[in-house]
Amino acid sequence: MSSQKQEAVKRITVPEITARKGGEPIVVLTAYDAPTAEIMDAHCDVLLVGDSLGMAVHGLPSTVGVTLEMMILHGQAVMRGAKRALVVIDMPFGSYEAGKEEAYANAVRVLKETGAQAVKVESGPEVPATIEYLVKRGVPVMGHVGLLPQSINIDGSFKAKGREAAEHARILQSAHDTANAGAFAVVIEGTAEGLAREITQAISKPTIGIGASAACDGQVLVSSDMFGVFDWTPKFVRKYADLRGEMGRAVQAYAEDVKARRFPAEVETYFSKKPATQ
């Protein structure tokens, strides 16, 4: 046996991501399971266990129905697959809005039970104070401004933000408040290019865009959208694969082979061992 030990993979840290402001773009994708996280790990700086798993994995109509237990379960799976990327876990709707103490207890539970490095929260008017409370107590937080999926019941639909002056000013202020509260990075979702550019230039923390133009310091996509798992995707998604088509063709071929008794073939079948000769 070789006496040389394999060098352990060094995981990317929160300060390293913050230091990327204005530098090499930060690569982020959502991840929900161990095998996919393992594939992504070599190429992504951050893996986000997004509450989008409610829609992408569980078939829910929105992210509102996602629970803390669901986030923890998927976070544990991703941490088993990812060895290099920084892993951030979404705090689901209702887990951080009621009060700073409850938010802290839930965030600590997420980090302890998954081993992930940070949590993410959607930044409403009351949230920056919670972010500051968490950060001061050792919980790294990624913020999220612009289109807020957890607010779907108020907004009524997923539509681009920041196209009107009043909304522009509100989102810009939210980004300032989120960064000043101590968030180490800020996701900007579904936001007009001019506003995304202004936020990126105005705050000292890296911005991660999703439907917010190339002006941001990094980009994130829902992996299921990027892989082409669904027929419909938002305008800002670029499909890098057609897994829906590939999976459909694979299932069709399998079904045809089973019906024709071509599967399993001899090479895929176990046989009794021959008795040993005397």
Position 19: which residue type?
Answer: A
pTM above 0.85, yes or no: yes
Instruction: Return the number of other C-beta atoms located less than 10 Å from residue 258's C-beta.
Output: 11
**pLDDT (tens digit, 9 = 90+) per residue, 213-260?**
999 999 999 999 999 999 999 999 999 999 999 999 999 999 999 999
Report the pLDDT value the prediction gives residue 55, as an integer from 0 to 100.
96
- Identify the bridge partners of residue 144 per DSSP, sorted by sequence position: 187
The two most distant CA atoms of the chain are separated, in Å, by: 92
Binding site, annotated residues: 51-52, 90, 120, 122
**Domain 14-241: CATH superfamily, name plus number:** Phosphoenolpyruvate-binding domains (3.20.20.60)
Active site residue 189: yes
Cα–Cα dist 223/205, whole Å = 24
For residue 4, name the pLDDT band (cuts at 50, 70, 90).
very low
pLDDT, tens digit (0-9, with 9 covering 90-100), for 79-107:
999 999 999 999 999 999 999 999 999 99
The C-alpha atoms of residue 31 and residue 48 are separated, in whole angstroms, by: 6
Per-residue pLDDT at 154: 66
Specify binding-site residues for Mg(2+).
Answer: 51, 90, 122
* Average of per-residue pLDDT across 102-130: 97
What pLDDT score was predicted for residue 156? 60
Q: What is the pLDDT of residue 2?
A: 43
Q: Report the pLDDT value the prediction gives residue 7, as an integer from 0 to 100.
A: 56
- In the numeric block, which tokens belong to residue 148? 């807020």
Catalytic residue among 24, 38, 101, 189: 189
Average pLDDT of the chain, as a whole number: 94
Please report, in range form, the residues annotated as the binding site for 3-methyl-2-oxobutanoate.
51-52, 90, 120
Tens digits of residue pLDDT in 32-62: 999 999 999 999 999 999 999 999 999 999 9
